Structure 1
Amino acid sequence: MTHHYRACVDSLRMAGRQIVIVNEPSAIKHVMATHHDIYERKSPQMRRALEYLLGDGLFISDGETWKRRRPLVADIVHKNRLPVFAPTMETVASAFAERWAMRASAETFDGLAEMAELTAEIIARTVFGSELGAQAARDVISGFTQYQRHVDSFNLGYFLGSDEGWPIWRSRGLRQGAAQVQKVIEAVVERHLAGAGDEGSMIQLLVRRREKNPELGLDVQALRNEAATIFMAGHETTASLLTWCWYCLANAPWAEAALHRELDSVLEGRAPRVDDVASLPYARAVIEETLRLYPPVPILSRQAGRADRLAHIDVEKGALVLVIPWLLHRASDLWEKPNHFMPERFLAAARPKPYSYVPFAIGPRICAGLTFGMTESILCLATLAQRFRVRLAPQAQVEPVCRLTLRPKAGLSIRVEPR
């Protein structure tokens, strides 16, 4: 069944709380850019769901904490640092391709779990350093997965009138997941503070900034929170993106063939490097089109800090304001054939209408690691697609579901064929 959406701004109420749906480019600009100071705060739904795991990490912080930390984190994941992290990306992606080469063509496995492992190893090594170890990396991955499985992002207290929402129910499974992540990260932080960490890791960069700028207030807990935030953002979103990318390509053989032609022409049989990413426009377009149809964060939620007038709607202080990329990116008045997978739309000279494409948010709170994530995604896609065709298993049942990120509810059952 195909659904048809149009750009719109609308308002409704749930219990006593106003909810404003913002899915029109000029209104998105108003919320995310022009008047971002009014809508700076993430919603209590998001803050409460993640505060037990991320504390005051950049993803859910606001006010002075966000203003102090944003330049710090943005500098650490800046594109100028890609040459430092490139060897790790290349080594891990190539090793993963060798692992796929050992699989029999008839063997089926979960593509989501595979992409989670691939991206987690890359982000674990770049954030924590190469000394983290395979078991510790697995502990972090399983801890995040367990936390996501048990967290409830619906906050009844917020809708009943509490502007801050109520603390979430911390089930045993949720507490165990968070503790598992925090134990590993705190141990790595302590090693770096003791001078025993890897040079060039993101935590090492944070520690150096802490020593240079004590006014930032980066104690062990703050370092842990930012490291957890960077890991979650770099692992969860990229794993989701690559999983949906394989799903789209498996259903679009013409796009897969075009991707293979580009890889064969540009790479001439050698393994891709980070330096090649700029020379792979179709691979980038495949990633961008996947982000359009399956944005890893399909709902961007904000809380109105004060009353405002938005389009034809009077926004109340404390209102829940939702920008929904899942709907925006499929609006028939903004996109040609919006439900079709068409990477070529991102090769055209005319880019999407401003504020109609927001997979990484937009404005001052745009994802700090955008360039890192895009580079990693294109490199991993190129490394694996150069050598393999990905096919959906005959029994694969794919249903999108959103917890912290958008993922296939039951994973993605795939098999790989050598090219």
Structure 2
Amino acid sequence: MLQLLQKPAPILEERGPDWFAPARPRPHDKRLPPLDLILAAKRNLISLWHVNDYRPTHGDMRLFGRQVFLANSPETVKYVMATRHDNYERKSPQMRRALENLLGDGLFISDGETWRRRRPLVSDIVHKNRVPAFGLTMEAVTLSFVERWRARPAGEPFNALTEMAELTAEIISRAVFGNELGARAAHDVVDAFTRYQGLIDNFNIGYFLGANEGLPVFRGPRLRRSVAQLDRVIDKVVTDHLEGRGEHDSMLDLLVKRQQKSPDLGLDVSALRNEAATIFMAGHETTAGVLTWAWYLISNAPWVEEAVLAELDRVCGSRTPTVDDVAQLDWCRSVIEETLRLYPPVPILARQAKDADTIAGIDIDPAALVVVVPWLLHRSEGLWDQPERFRPERFLTDRPTPYTYIPFAIGPRICAGLAFGLTEAILCFAILIQQFRIRVLPGTKVEPVSRLTLRPAGGLPVTAERRV
């Protein structure tokens, strides 16, 4: 049992237990039969679960003959993601097939020798020691969005998900490629990836019918248009950089220099493009989702907003927060970490077993689907105090017990951009909340839906009222 809260924050002692319970799909009282499970998965991957899954547990089932093992306890998570990482390093056929059109053999979906060769390279480029250098970009882009929001007519609603995606797309473009993406291109990326997620099938039926590699995604006209729209933006900025129109010391510039020093890395133009696309897509989409969910949560928890504003006043006074302030912004960090607990960007981490194994006394077939579910683990009774409540202060005093909190995955395949993404989310959140009072439009029904990533269905309509 985690003792997540040793001492309540003073501002919350006066409020009492008026905690906000965020939106989630209602757990099922009965296990879904296979056909119903497939239909539910096609719509929303977090709508599958039984009420008993929201506690530390593990077990298996068969779906059309394919074994599916749920690892939903700290012990089984550790075994799958760390102890026997070698046997469970490969992403599920569904994830690989869903993203191969966009990322090729990029790090997020690669494995084996390709992953082992490129992981240290990419990890070094986005290492936490480099984050301060990217911090100035984060500040500059976010401040440009402050001006953009100030120019809006008072009370005009807008989609927070779209705005956050365009914000993070511009940040990651300047960091990865060293040149500005621009509002039009940022909008094209966000629009295309939103449509792409809506078109991708959450359930690769071929895998469950016996094809260990799954079946290729059907590339209909709408899917091809979405991919082409994304490719145009990403390929242009990669080409611009390779032709000398990018800045030195961008992430892509570092990749090029590493390849020049070590040709055996095999980073040809195609591989450079795939790794750049992986950093770009993962870097903008996940942080955009976290920030969007943070605005939803803060909009419903004014007592937390008061604590955040008091901290910003104490640390920054009237000046704008900078990357150098992030280490002192404990409340801002805790809000982001609690948001990641309740709404992890990738709520299901599915792996394909390489060889036969045994987990917690259950025999695992070769090519079985082994599923670790942050969505369930982060809301498990017995691991968290009041798991369904928004309580950022739980992160102020204690760190979670290992393998109970995995918003960036865990083990050797933990997200290489963890430090970059976390710093970016905290800094963008701090700058924007200092300037604006953001509220979800009254009457909005917020529904979390997971296809490739976890988003509010239809976006999040909000208003932003200037504080100054």
Q: TM-score per shorter chain, which class? A: over 0.9
Q: Does 1:77 align with 2:126?
A: yes
Q: Please report the RMSD computed on the Cα atoms of aligned residues, expressed in angstroms.
A: 1.4
Number of the residue aligned with 1:162: 211
Match among 380, 388, 394 for residue 442 of structure 2: 394
SS in 2 for 1:37: helix
Q: Which amino acid aligns with 2:209?
A: L
Distance in 2 between residues matched to 1:101 and 1:136, nearest whole Å = 22
What is the alpha-carbon distance in structure 1 between the residues aligned to residue 403 and residue 377 of structure 2? Answer: 10
Structure 2 equivalent of residue 404 of structure 1: 452
User: Structure 1: which 4+ aligned runs deviate by more than 6 Å?
Assistant: none
Q: Spell out the pairing of 1:340-359 with structure 2 (5 A cutoff).
A: 340-348=389-397, 350-359=398-407
Contact in 2 for aligned 1:84/1:200 (Cα 8 Å): no
Q: Is the 8 A contact 1:182 1:224 kept in 2?
A: no
Distance in 1 of aligned mates of 2:315 and 2:257: 39
Q: Does structure 1 conserve the Cα–Cα contact (< 8 Å) formed by 2:98 and 2:217?
A: yes
Partner of 1:418: 466
Letter in 1 for 2:380: A
Q: Distance in 1 between matches of 2:238 and 2:419?
A: 25
Which of these residues, 340, 357, 364, is aligned with residue 308 of structure 1? 357
Amino acid at match of 2:416: A
In structure 2, the partner of 1:204 is 253
Q: Structure 1 residue 134: deviation in Å?
A: 3.7
Of residues 110-119 and 145-154 in structure 1, the stretch that sits farther from structure 2 once superposed is: 145-154
- The TM-score, its normalising length taken from structure 2, stands at 0.87
Whether the aligned pair in 2 keeps the contact of 1:397 and 1:410 (CA below 8 Å) is no
Distance 1:177 1:108 in 2: 27
Of the structure 1 ranges 350-359 and 335-344, higher mean CA displacement relative to structure 2 is found in 350-359
Superposed displacement of residue 207, structure 1: 1.2
Q: What is the identity, as a one-letter code, of the residue corresponding to 1:20?
A: F
Cα 1:104–1:139, aligned 2, differ >3 Å: closer, same or farther? Answer: closer
Shift of 1:87: 1.3
Q: Which moved more, 1:94-103 or 1:304-313?
A: 94-103
| Whole-Å separation in 2 of the counterparts to 1:162 and 1:18 | 13
Range moving further from structure 2, 80-89 or 282-291: 80-89
Q: CA 1:272–1:184 in 2, change beyond 3 Å: closer, same or farther?
A: same
Shift, 1:384, TM fit = 0.6
CA distance in 1, matches of 2:408, 2:180: 30
Kept after mapping to 1: 8 A contact 2:95/2:109: yes
1:239 paired residue number: 288
The structure-2 alpha-carbon separation of the partners of 1:395 and 1:66, relative to structure 1 and needing over 3 Å to count, comes to same
Point out where structure 2 has 5 or more consecutive residues left out of the alignment. 1-24, 28-50
Q: Give the length in aligned residue pairs.
A: 418
| Equivalent residue, structure 2, for 1:373 | 421
Cα distance, 1:328 vs structure 2? 0.7
* 3-state SS of 2:67 partner: strand
Amino acid at match of 1:408: P
Q: Distance in 2 between matches of 1:275 and 1:328?
A: 33
Aligned to 1:20: 69
Structure 1 vs Structure 2: percent identity of aligned residues? 62
Whichever residue aligns with residue 200 of structure 1, its letter is: D
Matches within 5 A, 1:294-333: 294-333=343-382
Structure 1: tracts of 5 or more residues without a match:
none
Letter in 2 for 1:95: S
Question: TM-score by structure 1 length?
Answer: 0.97
In the alignment, which of 205, 223, 237 is matched to residue 174 of structure 1?
223
Aligned to 1:113: 162
